[in-house]
Amino acid sequence: MGERSGKQKYAAEASDGEEVDDLFLLKTFEVKQKKDGSPYIWAEIADVTGTLSCFIWGVQGCGDTVMETASSLRPGEVYRVRGFAKTYNGSVQISVNDGISNLAEPVPPTDVDPDDYVSSPVKDLDLKGGVLRMAGEISDQVLGQMVLEVISSVDGFFIKPAAKGRHHEYRGGLAEHTLETARIALAACDATRTDADRDLVIAGALLHDIGKAFCFEEQGLGFAARPEYDLVGHVTMGVSYIAPFAKKRLPAEKAAHLLHILQSHHGPHGEVSCQTPEAWTVHLADLTSATLREAADDQADLVPGSGKRNGWRSGGPVWRFG
């Protein structure tokens, strides 16, 4: 396939053993190491039909070229990807060797039709209405108004992703994950005999990932993680943002409890452990939403009747029945 402009073949059409030479949106990437210590780039590339894993190996012995390429890649931009497709563990992935030279710069915007690349599985969902209705379940009017004020004051809450990869990493993913977490947490309150404070559970669920809205900025056709995503972390950024609202509007004990729920929502993997039923409820609801999304997306990558030992999102075995 020679030099040309415009998209010709889509991710969903990629099949085992064929050459690939087309335009794809770069969603995210990481620099990793081979067994011999030399670098390679793992990336997610996508178009409107789906997402593919892409392994950018470069030419053997040219590790410097791999690192130079990684330093110039910009998530959210469209690149010419030239390599070959192969099926591994039930899913199609792209390998790039000498085609690394085409990744030095993104494709000019004049050669890109956004409709070929921009999609979101939640674009037709009423996420804003769902979040607002969930906030309306809070019986404490002061707390409920504070939650609404925080969400409405954060730029991009309803359009930004929830992560660089793994779960809810698409446009609107943050709002979808937030709403799922709140719904799961509220259901847990209704299904168990814990006497948990429903208002604090709902508020904590709706605000638990608010810091992620400060961790992403629009870049090209997508979103790129800001340095704060890794250097500070969304938990710290969220608590820092919400603390002045909580301390000004809520009784001291309720403010402290809400901030504890937010600070501990990663459970055993976080800096602060859950120490109340309310904190555990939000943590488990957050984990449930994230895990189910990861498992479902890993399964969607497989052909029917196949499985893999380690889904890259969920980190565990996954199977797709026919």
Q: Output the domain CATH number for residue 25.
A: 2.40.50.140
pLDDT in the model for residue 5 = 54
Residue 83 to residue 2: CA distance in whole angstroms: 13
Q: Which of 95, 116, 137 is the last residue of a domain?
A: 116
Indicate the residue type of 314. Answer: S
Same structural domain, 250 and 233: yes
Same structural domain, 178 and 87: no
Beta-strand relationship, 306-308 and 318-320 = antiparallel
Same structural domain, 103 and 156: no
Same structural domain, 106 and 140: no
Quote the tokens at residue 53.
Answer: 């894993």
Beta-strand relationship, 39-47 and 19-33 = antiparallel
Determine, yes or no, domain membership for 320: no
pLDDT in the model for residue 177 = 98
List of residues 6+ apart from 314 with CB closer than 8 A: 291, 294, 295, 298
What's the pLDDT tens digit per position in 127-163?
999 999 999 999 999 999 999 999 999 999 999 999 9
Same structural domain, 228 and 80: no
Indicate the residue type of 17. Answer: G
Residue whose structure tokens are 């030419």: 59
* Maximum alpha-carbon separation in the chain: 67
Q: Are 168 and 208 in contact (CB under 8 A)?
A: no
Instruction: Tell me which residue range forms the domain holding 303.
Output: 124-308
Residue 161 to residue 212: CA distance in whole angstroms: 8
Determine, yes or no, domain membership for 234: yes
Same structural domain, 161 and 275: yes
Query: Which regions in the chain score pLDDT beneath 70?
Result: 1-5
CATH of the domain at 222: 1.10.3210
Same structural domain, 91 and 142: no
Same structural domain, 289 and 194: yes
Q: Which of 88, 116, 144 is the last residue of a domain?
A: 116
What's the pLDDT tens digit per position in 249-273?
999 999 999 999 999 999 999 999 9
C-beta neighbour count of 311 within 10 angstroms: 22
pLDDT in the model for residue 322 = 81
Determine, yes or no, domain membership for 204: yes
pLDDT in the model for residue 4 = 45
Determine, yes or no, domain membership for 198: yes
Determine, yes or no, domain membership for 280: yes
Same structural domain, 41 and 186: no
What's the pLDDT tens digit per position in 68-91?
999 999 998 999 999 999 988 778
Same structural domain, 152 and 241: yes
pLDDT in the model for residue 3 = 47
Beta-strand relationship, 78-88 and 91-96 = antiparallel
Same structural domain, 174 and 223: yes
Determine, yes or no, domain membership for 321: no
Determine, yes or no, domain membership for 111: yes
Residue 3 to residue 145: CA distance in whole angstroms: 56
Q: Which of 116, 140, 157 is the last residue of a domain?
A: 116
| pTM for the structure as a whole | 0.81
Same structural domain, 60 and 188: no
> Number of folded domains in the chain?
2
Nearest to 62 by CA among 34, 43, 81: 34
Determine, yes or no, domain membership for 26: yes
